[in-house]
Amino acid sequence: MSLPELIRDPAAWQRRCTAARDGGTRIALVPTMGYLHQGHLSLMREARRRADEGGRPGLSLATIFVNPTQFGPTEDLARYPRDLQGDLAKCGAAGVDMVLAPDNPGAVYPKDFQTWVDFTEVSKGLCGDRRPGHFRGVATVVAKLFGLSRPHVALFGEKDWQQLRVLQRMAVDLDMGVEVVGMPIVREADGLAMSSRNAYLTPEERGRAVAISRALGDARRRAGEGERDAAALSRGIQAAVEAAGMRVDYVELVHPERLRPVEHAVPGTRALVAAFLGRTRLIDNLALP
Ligand code: AMP
Protein backbone atom coordinates (compact mmCIF):
# COMPACT_ATOMS: atom_id res chain seq x y z
CA MET A 1 0.00 0.00 0.00
CA SER A 2 1.42 3.41 -0.96
CA LEU A 3 1.91 6.28 1.45
CA PRO A 4 -0.79 8.96 1.48
CA GLU A 5 0.09 12.42 0.27
CA LEU A 6 1.19 14.61 3.20
CA ILE A 7 0.04 18.23 3.18
CA ARG A 8 1.31 20.68 5.80
CA ASP A 9 -0.42 23.89 4.77
CA PRO A 10 -4.15 24.16 5.65
CA ALA A 11 -4.76 26.60 2.76
CA ALA A 12 -3.24 24.18 0.23
CA TRP A 13 -5.30 21.38 1.76
CA GLN A 14 -8.48 23.43 1.43
CA ARG A 15 -7.76 24.18 -2.23
CA ARG A 16 -7.34 20.47 -2.96
CA CYS A 17 -10.47 19.44 -1.07
CA THR A 18 -12.61 22.20 -2.56
CA ALA A 19 -11.54 21.26 -6.08
CA ALA A 20 -12.38 17.62 -5.39
CA ARG A 21 -15.75 18.45 -3.87
CA ASP A 22 -16.63 20.82 -6.70
CA GLY A 23 -15.70 18.06 -9.13
CA GLY A 24 -18.31 15.80 -7.55
CA THR A 25 -15.90 13.63 -5.53
CA ARG A 26 -17.31 12.09 -2.35
CA ILE A 27 -15.15 13.00 0.67
CA ALA A 28 -14.79 11.17 4.01
CA LEU A 29 -12.76 12.61 6.89
CA VAL A 30 -11.15 11.18 10.03
CA PRO A 31 -9.76 13.84 12.39
CA THR A 32 -7.12 12.56 14.86
CA MET A 33 -4.31 13.71 17.11
CA GLY A 34 -2.02 11.00 15.72
CA TYR A 35 0.00 8.23 17.38
CA LEU A 36 -2.41 5.96 15.57
CA HIS A 37 -3.70 2.61 16.78
CA GLN A 38 -6.29 0.11 15.56
CA GLY A 39 -9.14 2.29 16.85
CA HIS A 40 -8.10 5.11 14.52
CA LEU A 41 -7.50 2.66 11.68
CA SER A 42 -11.00 1.19 11.95
CA LEU A 43 -12.32 4.73 11.37
CA MET A 44 -10.04 5.14 8.36
CA ARG A 45 -11.09 1.87 6.78
CA GLU A 46 -14.72 2.89 7.18
CA ALA A 47 -13.88 6.31 5.68
CA ARG A 48 -12.38 4.55 2.63
CA ARG A 49 -15.55 2.49 2.25
CA ARG A 50 -17.86 5.48 2.62
CA ALA A 51 -15.81 7.70 0.30
CA ASP A 52 -16.18 5.09 -2.45
CA GLU A 53 -19.90 4.59 -1.84
CA GLY A 54 -20.93 6.77 -4.79
CA GLY A 55 -19.83 4.15 -7.30
CA ARG A 56 -16.60 5.91 -8.22
CA PRO A 57 -13.44 6.38 -6.14
CA GLY A 58 -13.87 9.07 -3.50
CA LEU A 59 -11.34 10.87 -1.32
CA SER A 60 -10.46 9.42 2.08
CA LEU A 61 -8.86 12.05 4.30
CA ALA A 62 -7.22 12.01 7.72
CA THR A 63 -5.89 14.86 9.79
CA ILE A 64 -3.15 14.60 12.42
CA PHE A 65 -3.03 17.61 14.70
CA VAL A 66 -2.44 17.76 18.45
CA ASN A 67 -4.89 20.58 19.01
CA PRO A 68 -3.64 22.82 21.84
CA THR A 69 -7.01 24.49 22.48
CA GLN A 70 -8.58 21.28 23.80
CA PHE A 71 -5.94 20.78 26.51
CA GLY A 72 -6.20 22.36 29.95
CA PRO A 73 -3.19 24.22 31.40
CA THR A 74 -2.16 21.26 33.59
CA GLU A 75 -2.83 18.56 31.00
CA ASP A 76 -0.50 16.50 28.78
CA LEU A 77 -0.17 18.70 25.67
CA ALA A 78 3.65 18.91 25.86
CA ARG A 79 4.19 15.17 26.30
CA TYR A 80 1.40 13.89 24.02
CA PRO A 81 2.98 11.04 21.97
CA ARG A 82 3.83 11.71 18.31
CA ASP A 83 5.07 9.54 15.40
CA LEU A 84 4.25 11.16 12.06
CA GLN A 85 6.29 8.75 9.89
CA GLY A 86 4.74 5.67 11.52
CA ASP A 87 1.29 7.26 11.29
CA LEU A 88 1.64 7.92 7.55
CA ALA A 89 2.46 4.26 6.87
CA LYS A 90 -0.58 3.19 8.91
CA CYS A 91 -2.81 5.67 7.08
CA GLY A 92 -1.59 4.31 3.76
CA ALA A 93 -2.40 0.74 4.80
CA ALA A 94 -5.91 1.89 5.86
CA GLY A 95 -6.57 3.40 2.43
CA VAL A 96 -6.17 7.10 3.29
CA ASP A 97 -5.44 9.27 0.22
CA MET A 98 -4.26 12.51 1.87
CA VAL A 99 -3.14 13.52 5.37
CA LEU A 100 -3.20 17.07 6.71
CA ALA A 101 -0.60 17.50 9.45
CA PRO A 102 -0.06 21.20 10.16
CA ASP A 103 3.47 21.65 11.48
CA ASN A 104 2.58 24.34 13.98
CA PRO A 105 -0.57 25.49 15.78
CA GLY A 106 -0.15 28.98 14.31
CA ALA A 107 -1.05 27.55 10.89
CA VAL A 108 -4.44 26.55 12.32
CA TYR A 109 -4.93 29.45 14.75
CA PRO A 110 -3.50 32.62 13.20
CA LYS A 111 -2.83 35.60 15.47
CA ASP A 112 -6.21 37.27 14.94
CA PHE A 113 -8.24 34.08 15.50
CA GLN A 114 -11.28 34.81 17.73
CA THR A 115 -14.26 32.56 16.90
CA TRP A 116 -15.30 29.62 19.10
CA VAL A 117 -18.03 26.97 19.08
CA ASP A 118 -19.96 26.69 22.35
CA PHE A 119 -22.81 24.54 23.68
CA THR A 120 -25.61 25.02 26.17
CA GLU A 121 -26.24 21.43 27.33
CA VAL A 122 -24.45 18.55 25.67
CA SER A 123 -20.98 19.65 26.82
CA LYS A 124 -22.11 19.91 30.45
CA GLY A 125 -21.35 17.15 32.96
CA LEU A 126 -18.88 14.27 32.49
CA CYS A 127 -15.64 15.34 30.72
CA GLY A 128 -17.17 18.76 30.01
CA ASP A 129 -17.18 19.59 33.73
CA ARG A 130 -13.83 17.94 34.55
CA ARG A 131 -12.00 19.49 31.58
CA PRO A 132 -13.22 23.10 31.32
CA GLY A 133 -12.90 24.41 27.76
CA HIS A 134 -12.15 20.96 26.35
CA PHE A 135 -15.21 20.60 24.12
CA ARG A 136 -15.03 24.23 23.05
CA GLY A 137 -11.54 23.46 21.73
CA VAL A 138 -12.58 20.15 20.17
CA ALA A 139 -15.67 21.56 18.46
CA THR A 140 -13.85 24.62 17.19
CA VAL A 141 -11.01 22.65 15.62
CA VAL A 142 -13.43 20.12 14.11
CA ALA A 143 -15.53 22.97 12.68
CA LYS A 144 -12.34 24.32 11.10
CA LEU A 145 -11.37 20.88 9.78
CA PHE A 146 -14.85 20.55 8.25
CA GLY A 147 -14.42 23.95 6.60
CA LEU A 148 -10.97 23.03 5.32
CA SER A 149 -11.84 19.52 4.15
CA ARG A 150 -15.42 19.91 2.84
CA PRO A 151 -16.35 16.32 3.81
CA HIS A 152 -19.67 14.62 3.13
CA VAL A 153 -19.11 12.32 6.09
CA ALA A 154 -16.80 12.35 9.14
CA LEU A 155 -16.01 9.37 11.37
CA PHE A 156 -15.49 9.51 15.15
CA GLY A 157 -15.08 6.82 17.81
CA GLU A 158 -17.65 5.94 20.45
CA LYS A 159 -14.73 5.73 22.87
CA ASP A 160 -15.15 9.50 23.26
CA TRP A 161 -18.92 9.24 23.67
CA GLN A 162 -19.56 12.80 24.85
CA GLN A 163 -17.33 14.17 22.10
CA LEU A 164 -19.34 12.24 19.52
CA ARG A 165 -22.61 13.66 20.84
CA VAL A 166 -21.15 17.18 20.95
CA LEU A 167 -19.98 16.97 17.33
CA GLN A 168 -23.24 15.44 16.07
CA ARG A 169 -25.09 18.31 17.79
CA MET A 170 -22.75 20.90 16.25
CA ALA A 171 -23.10 19.54 12.71
CA VAL A 172 -26.90 19.65 12.96
CA ASP A 173 -27.24 22.92 14.85
CA LEU A 174 -24.84 24.81 12.59
CA ASP A 175 -26.19 23.27 9.35
CA MET A 176 -22.75 21.98 8.39
CA GLY A 177 -24.12 19.39 5.99
CA VAL A 178 -21.65 16.79 7.29
CA GLU A 179 -22.87 13.36 8.40
CA VAL A 180 -21.13 12.65 11.73
CA VAL A 181 -20.86 8.89 12.18
CA GLY A 182 -19.91 7.05 15.39
CA MET A 183 -17.84 3.86 15.25
CA PRO A 184 -17.56 1.08 17.89
CA ILE A 185 -14.74 1.10 20.44
CA VAL A 186 -11.75 -1.04 19.42
CA ARG A 187 -10.22 -2.86 22.39
CA GLU A 188 -7.03 -4.71 23.28
CA ALA A 189 -7.34 -8.50 23.69
CA ASP A 190 -8.00 -8.12 27.44
CA GLY A 191 -10.69 -5.47 26.93
CA LEU A 192 -8.77 -2.22 27.54
CA ALA A 193 -10.06 0.46 25.17
CA MET A 194 -7.28 1.40 22.75
CA SER A 195 -5.96 4.93 23.28
CA SER A 196 -2.85 6.87 22.32
CA ARG A 197 -2.55 7.68 26.03
CA ASN A 198 -2.11 3.98 26.88
CA ALA A 199 1.51 4.58 25.81
CA TYR A 200 1.98 6.50 29.10
CA LEU A 201 1.27 3.39 31.19
CA THR A 202 4.09 1.45 32.82
CA PRO A 203 3.82 -2.35 32.36
CA GLU A 204 2.52 -2.59 35.91
CA GLU A 205 -0.13 0.09 35.30
CA ARG A 206 -1.06 -1.52 32.00
CA GLY A 207 -1.93 -4.67 33.91
CA ARG A 208 -4.27 -2.79 36.24
CA ALA A 209 -5.86 -0.64 33.52
CA VAL A 210 -8.10 -3.50 32.42
CA ALA A 211 -10.13 -3.00 35.61
CA ILE A 212 -12.10 -0.21 33.89
CA SER A 213 -13.45 -2.31 31.02
CA ARG A 214 -13.97 -5.25 33.39
CA ALA A 215 -16.01 -3.05 35.75
CA LEU A 216 -18.13 -1.80 32.87
CA GLY A 217 -18.60 -5.38 31.66
CA ASP A 218 -19.69 -6.44 35.16
CA ALA A 219 -22.23 -3.61 35.23
CA ARG A 220 -23.56 -4.71 31.86
CA ARG A 221 -23.92 -8.26 33.16
CA ARG A 222 -25.69 -7.10 36.34
CA ALA A 223 -28.03 -4.89 34.31
CA GLY A 224 -28.76 -7.86 32.05
CA GLU A 225 -29.62 -9.89 35.14
CA GLY A 226 -32.17 -7.28 36.16
CA GLU A 227 -30.32 -4.66 38.27
CA ARG A 228 -31.92 -1.36 37.22
CA ASP A 229 -30.74 0.94 40.02
CA ALA A 230 -28.24 3.35 38.45
CA ALA A 231 -26.70 4.28 41.80
CA ALA A 232 -26.06 0.63 42.67
CA LEU A 233 -24.51 -0.06 39.26
CA SER A 234 -22.34 3.08 39.52
CA ARG A 235 -21.16 2.12 43.01
CA GLY A 236 -20.12 -1.31 41.70
CA ILE A 237 -18.08 0.22 38.88
CA GLN A 238 -16.49 2.78 41.18
CA ALA A 239 -15.50 0.17 43.78
CA ALA A 240 -13.90 -2.09 41.17
CA VAL A 241 -11.91 0.74 39.58
CA GLU A 242 -10.72 1.99 42.98
CA ALA A 243 -9.80 -1.55 44.03
CA ALA A 244 -7.32 -1.52 41.11
CA GLY A 245 -5.65 1.54 42.62
CA MET A 246 -7.14 4.16 40.31
CA ARG A 247 -8.59 7.53 41.25
CA VAL A 248 -12.08 7.82 39.83
CA ASP A 249 -12.80 11.11 38.05
CA TYR A 250 -16.41 10.15 37.40
CA VAL A 251 -18.67 7.15 37.00
CA GLU A 252 -22.06 7.98 35.54
CA LEU A 253 -25.05 6.30 33.94
CA VAL A 254 -26.65 8.70 31.48
CA HIS A 255 -29.20 9.01 28.72
CA PRO A 256 -27.21 8.14 25.57
CA GLU A 257 -28.08 11.30 23.65
CA ARG A 258 -28.98 13.94 26.20
CA LEU A 259 -26.21 12.77 28.55
CA ARG A 260 -28.26 13.59 31.66
CA PRO A 261 -27.81 11.20 34.60
CA VAL A 262 -30.55 8.58 34.96
CA GLU A 263 -31.90 6.91 38.11
CA HIS A 264 -32.99 3.72 36.38
CA ALA A 265 -30.99 1.95 33.73
CA VAL A 266 -32.99 1.13 30.59
CA PRO A 267 -31.78 -0.48 27.36
CA GLY A 268 -29.31 1.94 25.76
CA THR A 269 -28.41 3.75 28.99
CA ARG A 270 -24.72 4.58 28.69
CA ALA A 271 -22.29 3.89 31.52
CA LEU A 272 -19.21 6.14 31.36
CA VAL A 273 -15.99 6.10 33.37
CA ALA A 274 -13.01 8.43 33.64
CA ALA A 275 -10.20 7.49 36.01
CA PHE A 276 -6.59 8.40 36.72
CA LEU A 277 -4.01 5.64 36.76
CA GLY A 278 -0.94 7.44 38.05
CA ARG A 279 -0.81 10.59 35.90
CA THR A 280 -2.69 8.99 33.02
CA ARG A 281 -6.37 9.76 32.56
CA LEU A 282 -8.29 6.90 30.95
CA ILE A 283 -11.90 6.91 29.71
CA ASP A 284 -14.26 4.17 28.59
CA ASN A 285 -17.99 3.58 28.22
CA LEU A 286 -20.57 1.08 27.09
CA ALA A 287 -24.28 0.66 26.47
CA LEU A 288 -26.31 -1.29 29.03
CA PRO A 289 -28.72 -3.99 27.86
P1 AMP B 1 -7.73 11.05 19.11
O2 AMP B 1 -6.54 10.90 18.22
O3 AMP B 1 -7.56 10.44 20.46
O4 AMP B 1 -8.26 12.46 19.13
O5 AMP B 1 -8.88 10.17 18.45
C6 AMP B 1 -9.26 10.39 17.10
C7 AMP B 1 -10.53 9.61 16.83
O8 AMP B 1 -10.31 8.22 17.06
C9 AMP B 1 -11.68 10.02 17.75
O10 AMP B 1 -12.87 10.07 17.00
C11 AMP B 1 -11.70 8.93 18.76
O12 AMP B 1 -12.96 8.73 19.36
C13 AMP B 1 -11.32 7.74 17.92
N14 AMP B 1 -10.80 6.66 18.76
C15 AMP B 1 -9.84 6.75 19.70
N16 AMP B 1 -9.67 5.55 20.33
C17 AMP B 1 -10.57 4.69 19.77
C18 AMP B 1 -10.90 3.32 19.98
N19 AMP B 1 -10.27 2.58 20.90
N20 AMP B 1 -11.87 2.77 19.21
C21 AMP B 1 -12.52 3.52 18.27
N22 AMP B 1 -12.25 4.82 18.04
C23 AMP B 1 -11.29 5.40 18.76
CA dihedral 49, 52, 58, 59 (to 10 degrees): 0
Is 37 known to be catalytic? no
Average pLDDT, integer, range 249-256: 98
Domains of the chain: 5-183 (3.40.50.620), 196-287 (3.30.1300.10)
- What order of strands is seen across the sheet that includes strand 5-7? 5-7, 98-100, 59-64, 27-32, 153-157, 179-183
| Predicted local distance difference test score (pLDDT) of residue 256 | 97
Neighbours of 120 (CB within 10 A): 8
Closest by CA position to 25, among listed 51, 46, 64, 62: 51
Does residue 159's CB lie within 6 angstroms of at least one atom of ligand 1? yes
Does residue 270's CB lie within 6 angstroms of at least one atom of ligand 1? no
d(CA 69, CA 109): 9
Residue 34 CA: which ligand 1 atom is closest? 2
Please give the distance, rounded to the nearest whole angstrom, from the Cα atom of residue 156 to the centre of ligand 1: 6
In DSSP notation, 155-200 reads EEEGGGHHHHHHHHHHHHHTT---EEEEEPPPB-TTSPBP-GGGGG
Q: At 226, phi and psi to the nearest 5?
A: 115, -5
Residue 187 CA: which ligand 1 atom is closest? 19
CA dihedral 63, 69, 74, 77 (to 10 degrees): 20
Flag whether pLDDT at 131 surpasses 90: yes
| Predicted local distance difference test score (pLDDT) of residue 274 | 98
Task: Given the residues 40, 134, 152, 255, select the one marked as catalytic.
Answer: 40
Flag whether pLDDT at 238 surpasses 80: yes
Among 43, 210, 283, 286, say which to mutate for ligand 1: greatest number of ligand atoms within 8 Å of CB.
43
d(CA 209, CA 91): 27
Assign residue 138 a region (left: φ > 0; alpha: ψ between -120 and 50; beta: otherwise).
Answer: alpha
d(CA 13, CA 184): 29
- Counting residues of the chain whose pLDDT is more than 70, the rounded percentage is 100
Task: For 146-203, write each residue's pLDDT tens digit.
Answer: 999 999 999 999 999 999 999 999 999 999 999 999 999 999 999 999 999 999 999 9
Residue type at 179? E
Please give the distance, rounded to the nearest whole angstrom, from the Cα atom of residue 192 to the centre of ligand 1: 13
Model's pTM, two decimal places?
0.98
Does residue 41's CB lie within 6 angstroms of at least one atom of ligand 1? no
Flag whether pLDDT at 1 surpasses 80: no
Average pLDDT, integer, range 30-58: 97
Please give the distance, rounded to the nearest whole angstrom, from the Cα atom of residue 17 to the centre of ligand 1: 23
Residue type at 234? S
- Counting residues of the chain whose pLDDT is more than 90, the rounded percentage is 99
Does residue 160's CB lie within 6 angstroms of at least one atom of ligand 1? yes
Task: For 103-124, write each residue's pLDDT tens digit.
Answer: 999 999 999 999 999 999 999 9
Flag whether pLDDT at 13 surpasses 90: yes
Residues 153, 16, 46, CA angle at the centre, nearest 5°?
A: 30
First to last CA, the chain: 40
Residue 194 CA: which ligand 1 atom is closest? 19
Assign residue 58 a region (left: φ > 0; alpha: ψ between -120 and 50; beta: otherwise).
Answer: beta
| Predicted local distance difference test score (pLDDT) of residue 54 | 84
Does residue 161's CB lie within 6 angstroms of at least one atom of ligand 1? no
Does residue 143's CB lie within 6 angstroms of at least one atom of ligand 1? no
